Structure 1
Amino acid sequence: MRSLKKNEDIVVLKGEFEKAQYKEQPLSEYDQNPFIEALPSIFSEDDVLDRFMVAPRITSQDKALEVNIRYHILKRVKTFIQPLPIHFEVERRLSTLIRRGYLARNPLDNTYFERIRVLNELRDEEEQSIQIIDERLNYIRSTADSLSIIGISGIGKTTAIERLLLMYPQVIKHEEYNGHPFNRTQIVWLKIDCPYDGSLSTLCKSFFKAIDDLLGTRYLEKFGYLNRVTSTMLLHMTSLASMYGIGVLVIDEIQHLLHAKNDQEEMLNFFVTLSNTVGIPTVLIGTSKAQKLFKGNFRQARRAASDGAIIWDRMAEDSEEWQFFLETLWELQCLKSRSELTEDVKKSFYEECQGITAVAVNLFILAQERALFDENNPNELITARTLKQTAKKDMQMIQPMIKAVRTNNLHDMMKYEDIMINLDDVMLNHKRDMELTGRIQEAFKERQNTIEFKRNDTIEGLVVELVSLGIFDSLKETDIKKLVKQIVEKNPLDTDYNVFKIDALQAALALNQQKKGQKSKPKPQNTNVLPLLALRKRALEKKQHPYELLKASGYIKNPLEEFY
């Protein structure tokens, strides 16, 4: 019986499905290619900024909630993603890789079908090896670029590439092109992780399962059973990648290849075959350990990064991008009092995170949690002392690694190769594009102003509409504005205007009814308003005629004295 249980827990990144909508292309070489024309238009920097950034909203109302509730709100900060110059660089490379990879794989070209035919023939010949693909496809080669991204753990490589991939649909269904039937399924991108043991066989099975999860096929069961020869699985994998027009294949955690006993060179050769022969662009992502794969005798490995390598270093303390990142992150406080970002706090913050994105975000969250429950910190302030205590007690496990980076101790850094970025010729203090950083910062601030303007515009529009209805007789305009503002601020700004309107209308009706009920409640009677009845009651209790008591109290005058 075929055993596939080991692949059941593979997590595959999934994007959106779209029906093909063909767009006019800015470059002539991209015309008349359905695979390219169905892609989103080439993204501008504003598009990337808008789609890439994740800034969780923490309102003034959130900050007024109980401590136990704010503890949960703080976890929103985990989703924080700040666009930096390197994200724009990766996006440009990825955009180019996908489009230029399709140039020689135009599904309207006869060579596209010829390539698939040859690959199917090779796939059916069980004894053949993937090494002969070069020979069989020599006359229809379609070289594509490939890219490697190398950086220390926690710097945000995987988060960035996944966020950028999700800007594209993952699967595009083609039915008709230029009035002619055109039935194709296009997979724009596929991301899989290199298995921890570096096994090429496991990688192939991950590939089959990823396609199965997307399209509902059964390739893992058909091609991935145990007695399959790895080279045969690679042929099936290559054939499927070409048949479905995969725009880019992203392999993450490539440093796991170092754990493989015999498959390292075979896997690297396979990546080169995909890009240099079959024409499918590849992106290899790994920690600094992966640089060993691109050194020494692995000549093919150098070819596996034909479009170069992006070295993703930690942010330097004196860089503009670090200052911008920290200032933006600092706005996401959910404490009783606002903590100021003093020079002392800045210095302590960098010392404890060393410009590593994931460490910085976690340190910020944990420091706020410590401030929330510190009895000696009634104002809930984040100080340099708070940051140091948090790093020492709550992030104890990573202290040896952070210390090695902080002290630039090469001997200690070699123990933790994941955090060492300058193994050979890579500079530790990799300089960023300062001009681009400035543009991003200006664009980000402008976007914040735009968001605030849109929010205020939405509030004003809703207030005018509700007031004009004339049905809220118990509400003032200030009551309606306060109510509308609360609704708009607690929801995402891209919420449909009609949803805002319905919520505001329902809330205003409820508040109007509540205030109307308060007005209609009977007021308690004031006994001073009816003194005559009180005197009469007192006279009866004393068994006295009310006339006598009223006369004695001055309510009845003597008629003789009054008129004569």
Structure 2
Amino acid sequence: MNDLSPYGDNPFINALGPIRDRREMSRALLQTPARPPDIANLPYAVRLHWLMQLREMHLPRIEELRLAESLDLATRHSYAQRSPHSPEVWSALMKEPVIQPALNMPAGVVSLVGHSGTGKTEAVTRLLKRYPQIIAHDRLPNFAGKHLQVAWVSVCVPPSGRTVDLAEVLMKAWDRAMLPFHKGEPRFAHTLAQQRRYGPRMLEEWRQIASSHFLGLLHLDEIQNLFKLATLSQRKSRTNGKKGAGHHIDDYWAGLPIVEDQMLKWILSIANEWGMALCISGTPDGLNALRSRFSVSQRISSLGHHRFQPFQVDDAEFVGVFLPALLRHQYVSTPLQMSDELAHLLIELTAGIPRLLVGLWIAAHRIAFERNEDRLRLEDLMAGAKTTLAPVMPAVQALNSGNPQLMERFEDLMPDDFDLWEALGHPL
């Protein structure tokens, strides 16, 4: 235990490992692919397989490091509220579901928004995996025998947005995580085998088990699946005559129905009543919809709202980190050189979406190899955009335009003009 820690001798918190600063976290998250020693003598087919390692490259951005702090604060604080040194905490768990743990304040909520491909899901996944997921305690204060602590669970909200489907996803994720510790059949095998299922009851069953194992943080990704998002024609009719600088979030999301209202209530109770930290992530349309519903429901404590933005051509992280990393991984004898023209072209063809930047880089190499030429040209990037990236180019053009009317054509490219932090009860 670190004598400087504000949490004291809390075994749940100590098991998470030391608190890391941003420099330490950045080093832990950095992942760069190896390069072959002699590119010129490698056949093109072999070079392609080296090139595919770029998909595993991870260069942590400053917003990811801020997110790391928020998740760490939320998780550790949730355990500070549920210390095993408190007999009341154990008493409450043993008397489920009538008595709830006595919390000084709700657990923290972290929200994360970004367009598809900006790396939000990968960031949360990598950060959570910095902690052990299942921690076995041989002894705990006020408890006889061994006990398993579950530090985190991460799932995607199913496309249906129904309670029964979310409960199934949570139960299966729990059983997978606990598989090495199973004695007999998985914990939720009987419930999942039933033909007739009732979603709220399944969610409550899962929550009770998660509480008894002191779940630290629950991550719900693809939060937009909770909502019946409007179609393009519905959005146009609802916002007709209200577009432009003066538009307001309510013009888009007023009356937007959640698939099942009890789902939102249950999610809120995780942090508000049971002390588990919560991380919600999704695309701007989903987070905006959630913001409108939170604004009319109970307020909850938030520990951070993070936006994963596409790169801009003048971003220091793009020109100083990401682009140089791409340039180092050229598998041709005559590579492209750093230039303003190259930087502008890459942003124009990908709207600065990191996943598309890597995809375009790989596509350009394949075009060069098909040309049987051992050099990379700007024209190869343009050809890659017209072929491999052709299906996403309309969305890229909409993002580049910054025009809400064009962006409305794509569900996951809705304008992100509204600050979720205020809706969660903590205006900046």
TM-score normalised to the size of structure 1?
0.64
Change (3 A) 1:138 1:173: closer
CA deviations on 1:301-331 (whole Å, 9 max, x unpaired) are 6745622421222122211111121112221
User: Could you say which residue in structure 2 is the equivalent of 1:70?
Assistant: 47
User: Could you say which residue in structure 1 is the equivalent of 2:218?
Assistant: 249
Change (3 A) 1:175 1:295: closer
Quote the offset at 1:424 in angstroms: 4.1
Quote the offset at 1:298 in angstroms: 4.1
Aligned partner (choices 193, 196, 204) of residue 159 of structure 2: 196
In 2, Cα distance between equivalents of 1:304 and 1:257: 18
Letter in 2 for 1:233: M
User: Could you say which residue in structure 2 is the equivalent of 1:482?
Assistant: none
Aligned partner (choices 360, 374, 381) of residue 387 of structure 1: 381
User: Could you say which residue in structure 2 is the equivalent of 1:443?
Assistant: none
Quote the offset at 1:142 in angstroms: 5.3
Secondary structure of the residue aligned to 1:56 is coil
Within 5 Å, give how 1:156-195 maps onto structure 2: 156-176=119-139, 183-195=146-158
In 1, Cα distance between equivalents of 2:107 and 2:212: 16
In 1, Cα distance between equivalents of 2:280 and 2:292: 18
Letter in 1 for 2:398: A
CA deviations on 1:378-421 (whole Å, 9 max, x unpaired) are 3422x222211110122110011011112223212101131234
Change (3 A) 1:69 1:307: same
User: Could you say which residue in structure 2 is the equivalent of 1:24?
Assistant: 2
Change (3 A) 1:145 1:52: same
Letter in 1 for 2:176: D
Larger helix proportion, structure 1 or 2?
1
In 1, Cα distance between equivalents of 2:292 and 2:139: 50
User: Could you say which residue in structure 2 is the equivalent of 1:355?
Assistant: 352
Number of residue equivalences: 386
Letter in 1 for 2:189: E
User: Could you say which residue in structure 2 is the equivalent of 1:316?
Assistant: 312
Letter in 2 for 1:402: V
Quote the offset at 1:147 in angstroms: 1.2
> Alignment RMSD, CA only?
2.4
CA deviations on 1:333-371 (whole Å, 9 max, x unpaired) are 111222212221221111101111101111111111111
Q: Runs of 5+ in structure 2 lacking a partner?
A: 230-256, 421-428
Whether contact under 8 Å (2:70, 2:304) holds in the other structure is no
Change (3 A) 1:31 1:297: closer
Whether contact under 8 Å (1:171, 1:186) holds in the other structure is yes
Whether contact under 8 Å (1:275, 1:282) holds in the other structure is yes
In 2, Cα distance between equivalents of 1:142 and 1:111: 16
* Bigger RCO of structures 1 and 2 (CA < 8 A, at least 6 apart): 2
In 1, Cα distance between equivalents of 2:292 and 2:8: 42
Aligned residues: percent identity? 24
Whether contact under 8 Å (1:191, 1:250) holds in the other structure is yes
**Do structure 1's residue 289 and structure 2's residue 285 form an aligned pair?**
yes
Aligned partner (choices 35, 50, 71) of residue 94 of structure 1: 71
Aligned partner (choices 117, 126, 134) of residue 154 of structure 1: 117
Change (3 A) 1:38 1:308: closer
Question: Which has the greater radius of gyration?
Answer: 1
Quote the offset at 1:266 in angstroms: 1.7
Change (3 A) 1:226 1:110: farther
In 2, Cα distance between equivalents of 1:293 and 1:147: 16
CA deviations on 1:205-250 (whole Å, 9 max, x unpaired) are 1111112112235333233434332222122122111111111000
In 2, Cα distance between equivalents of 1:397 and 1:85: 30
Secondary structure of the residue aligned to 1:212 is helix
In 2, Cα distance between equivalents of 1:158 and 1:297: 23
Secondary structure of the residue aligned to 1:186 is strand
Change (3 A) 1:66 1:143: same
Q: Runs of 5+ in structure 1 lacking a partner?
A: 1-22, 123-135, 427-564
Within 5 Å, give how 1:248-287 maps onto structure 2: 248-259=217-228, 263-287=259-283
